[in-house]
Amino acid sequence: MRFVVYGAGAVGGVIAARLHLGGEDVQVVARGEHLSTIREDGLRLVTADGESVARVPAAGRLADLDVGSDSAVVVAVKSHQTAGVMHDVARSTPPDVTLVSAQNGVANEAVLARGRAHVVGMVVMLPASHLEPGVVVQGSSNVPGLLDVGRYPGGTSERAEAVAAGLRGGGFDSVVRPDIMAWKHRKLMMNLGNAAGAACAPGPERDRLVDLAVEEGEAVLAAAGIPVVSRARDDERRGDLLDTSRMRERGGGSTWQSLRRGTGDVEVDYLNGEVSLLGRLHGVPTPVNDLLRDAAWRLAATRAEPGSLSAADLLEELEL
């Protein structure tokens, strides 16, 4: 199987570089200065042990790459950008191409499946960052990431097995799971803290906001009857496989990085907003996730620095 990584940012860039270093056939879709730097100098992967350069074909759209029926397009953009990716997919890929959602949130697979029949979901456990054009940072110094995959909406397939095999060749730990969306819903619960982590400085008040957001998330999943793996099972899967003790400074998570780069947008509609949606559909109040979603959007819209809101003030606003 050949790979096209659509969105060579933090997660996509590390995946692309590791696949290339593992001997896989890899192309990337990127944009702006990041794209031009990759074309000129290659994609630079920074790890705790040093640096490597992956010289991979790069373009701003799929039409300028070689994408065939034997290709897996690994979609690694933010969730609010997925519809735009599908416009490109519809124009420039064969009907039997494989699409892989290497994304947070649980709404992307359905968007991909509207356009193509073969969709693979992925749970992304990959500490990474991208703050400089042409450069991605791998945060874990032993296994670079845990990237479990599975056929959407459920079950296994030869395509999922082929994707997992390629990822393992790149050094990742990858297991094929028939209940991949139950695992992705557990990851969603973990990502509910992204907005607070991006908007507020560390401290007990921020921790309280995250705990409250997760409590709401667990409540809406239960009300909706959505299968989700337990925290204990997720903890067991992670174990001590990801070693970030030697991690170079990367700032915060994906939402923090979006604010830091001043992109003007964040994907919280598909994280905290997913909880808000389920709450409205099933009659469960979600004031914490509503507030965190709006707070993150305000910071993004004004190009404010991450950590510039007071968690204590947000907690007070909730009480009022």
Check if the beta carbon of residue 288 is closer than 8 Å to that of residue 318. yes
Whole-Å CA distances, 137 to 65, 113, 249, 262, 267: 25, 31, 9, 19, 21
| Per-residue confidence band for 250, with pLDDT thresholds at 50, 70 and 90 | low
Give the residue with greater pLDDT, 245 vs 11.
Answer: 11
Q: 3-class SS at 46? A: strand
- pLDDT tens for each residue of 157-211: 999 999 999 999 999 999 999 999 999 999 999 999 999 999 999 999 999 999 9
Contacts of 265 (CB under 8 A, 6+ apart): 78, 80, 258, 300
Q: Please tell me whether the overall predicted TM-score, pTM, comes out greater than 0.85 for this model.
A: yes
Which residues on neighbouring strands pair with residue 309, listed in sequence order? 200
pLDDT at 231: 96
**What's the token pair of residue 264?**
């003007």
**What's the token pair of residue 122?**
């992925």
Answer whether the bond into residue 153 is a cis peptide, omega within 30°. yes
Q: Residue 251 above 70 pLDDT?
A: no
Domains and CATH numbers, the chain: 2-178 (3.40.50.720), 184-319 (1.10.1040.10)
Contacts of 142 (CB under 8 A, 6+ apart): 241, 242, 243
pLDDT at 248: 54
Residue 232, CA atoms < 13 Å, CB-side half-sphere? 0
pLDDT at 253: 86
Q: Residue 237 above 90 pLDDT?
A: yes
Mean pLDDT of 118-144: 95
Percent of the chain with pLDDT over 70: 98
Q: Residue 252 above 90 pLDDT?
A: no
- pLDDT tens for each residue of 58-90: 999 999 999 999 999 999 999 999 999 999 999
